[in-house]
Structure 1
């Protein structure tokens, strides 16, 4: 999942559905908001995944990152200021945006697999995030994640 380029542009309906997903809405909520069947929403999301080169089994946080990275939706602005994250935490955040499984995230962040739950838990706590999808939304909203990159830690923190 290294190429955020779309195979084809999203249709306006796909973009609207993607924006709702980025905003944290579930399939039933999106269906009600658009006055369509849930199967229609799932079909649009399937098409979005395909165009973003995300396999069907791809984790939601990766799909959200790809949508935002391809600028097909706008990240919601978090109600809290961005936390100060150290180098290790920024490395973990980068790994979260690139990998789907906990083992892959641990490898990408260079941390022991036995510590990945605790490290992710700490990152979620520091950012006020409920889960990895919420973390990706917030990180994009704060500008901690930019197109294909995670910004370096502010003021050299943790270095």
Structure 2
């Protein structure tokens, strides 16, 4: 009879102390999308390091580094062989990485250079970049070299990360605000 009464007793229970609550119900945190090593790879990518340089920093083989890059592409829904600037852009626009702080001044880019910068960040193939810029693939490659020289970036991956620091490439939040403001 006491067991039945205890099961149906609806009296309010005293609130659990914080210490007891943590023992009974451990605090939960959402699982991380990336492993600790993948986070380091993301950090190195955003700094503009190449896969060979990342492998040296991690003291791992280039094959292992390429495996980490493949997993990052998969986890961010990038095409299997998308170039690193596209991957970095995806990481930065999805707020899974933060743009690096830079002392380099914001360059004064003309509309064609901004179009090339966006194509570099969003297009996975040289033909796609050329089509987006309205240039031939050879002319787009030449324009990219000139843009790297003008901005002081070491490579295209670092250029995309710097462009995010300079707010030259919009993130998803910026696009949403612009679309909402236009309506």
Give the TM-score taking structure 1 as reference length. 0.73
- Cα distance change, pair 18–114 in 1 and its aligned pair in 2 (3 A): closer
**Candidates 112, 115, 118, aligned match of 1:94:** 118
Q: Name the stretch that deviates more: 44-53 or 21-30.
A: 21-30
Moved more, 78-87 or 106-115: 106-115
Give 5+ residue unaligned stretches, structure 1: 1-7, 152-159
Does the aligned pair in 1 maintain the 2:45–2:88 contact within 8 Å?
yes
Aligned to 1:140: 164
Q: CA RMSD in A?
A: 2.8
Partners of 1:93 and 1:150 within 8 A in 2: no
Q: Is the 8 A contact 2:45 2:157 kept in 1?
A: no
The CA distance in 2 between the partners of 1:147 and 1:117, in whole Å, is 25
- 1:73 corresponds, among 93, 97, 118, to 97
Aligned residues: 144
* Match for residue 23 of structure 1 among 47, 54, 72: 47
Counterparts of 2:136 and 2:129, CA distance in 1: 10
Whose radius of gyration is greater, 1 or 2?
Answer: 2
> SS at 1:71's partner residue?
coil
In 2, distance between residues paired with 1:68 and 1:54? 13
Match of 2:80 in 1: 56
Counterparts of 2:144 and 2:53, CA distance in 1: 28
Change in CA separation of 1:26 and 1:129 when aligned onto 2, cut-off 3 Å = closer
Choose 115-124 or 38-47, whichever is displaced more: 38-47
Stretches of structure 2 lacking an aligned partner (at least 5 in a row): 1-31, 176-183
**1:150 positional shift:** 9.1
**C-alpha distance in 2 between matches for 1:30 and 1:49:** 16
Are residues 81 and 49 of structure 1, via their aligned partners in 2, closer, same or farther at CA, if it must alter by over 3 Å? same
